[in-house]
Amino acid sequence: MDRYNDKTNAANTGSWNGFIIMNQFILEHIRTIELIGVIMRIASFAFVSWLGPKSPFLLIWTINTTDAIMLSWCAILKKDLAYSILNVFWVIIGIIGICRAGALIH
C-alpha cells in the first residue's frame, strides 16, 4: 500500500493531508535531510569565516535559516526538545538576520 496515495487516509485528514504526507516523507528520509541541513550550516559558517566582512550576508542568512527550518522540523518530528528549541531559535535569529541584511530593519 502506498502511504502517499492512500485515499481513505486523505479523506479523513482534510486540509492536514499535505502536512501528513510531508511528515511521512521527512520521517522516511530524516537522516539524509538532517545531513543536508548540517552540511548547509557548516558551509555557511565556513563561508563567513573565510570571506569575513565581504560575505554576502543575505545569502548566508537565507541558507542558515533554511537549514534551521529543516533541522527544526526533523527535531520536532523526532520529539527532541533540546534540538527543537535550538533550531527554532536559529529560525528566529535567521529571520532577523535576513531582515537586517536586506536592509528591512536597522
Q: Which amino acid is at 43?
A: A
Q: What pLDDT, on the 0 to 100 scale, is given for residue 3? A: 54
pLDDT for res 89: 97
Its pTM surpasses 0.75: yes
C-alpha distances out from residue 90 to 16, 61, 85, 86, Å: 26, 10, 9, 6
**Over its length of 106 residues, how does the chain's per-residue pLDDT go in tens digits?**
455 555 555 455 567 788 889 999 999 999 999 999 999 999 999 999 999 888 898 999 999 999 999 999 999 999 999 999 999 999 999 999 999 888 777 6
pLDDT at 85: 97
Radius of gyration of the chain (CA): 17
pLDDT of residue 1: 47
Cell of 8: 481513505
d(CA 14, CA 52): 48
* pLDDT in the model for residue 28: 95
Measured in residues, the chain has a length of 106
Amino acid 102: pLDDT: 80
CA dihedral in degrees (21, 25, 30, 33; nearest 10)?
Answer: -110
How high is the pLDDT of residue 14? 65
pLDDT of residue 103: 77
Burial of 11 (0-12, 13-18, 19+ CB in 10 A): exposed
Using the structure block, give the residue that is written with the C-alpha cell 528591512. Answer: 104
- Give the residue among 67, 79, 76 at the shortest CA–CA distance from 33: 67
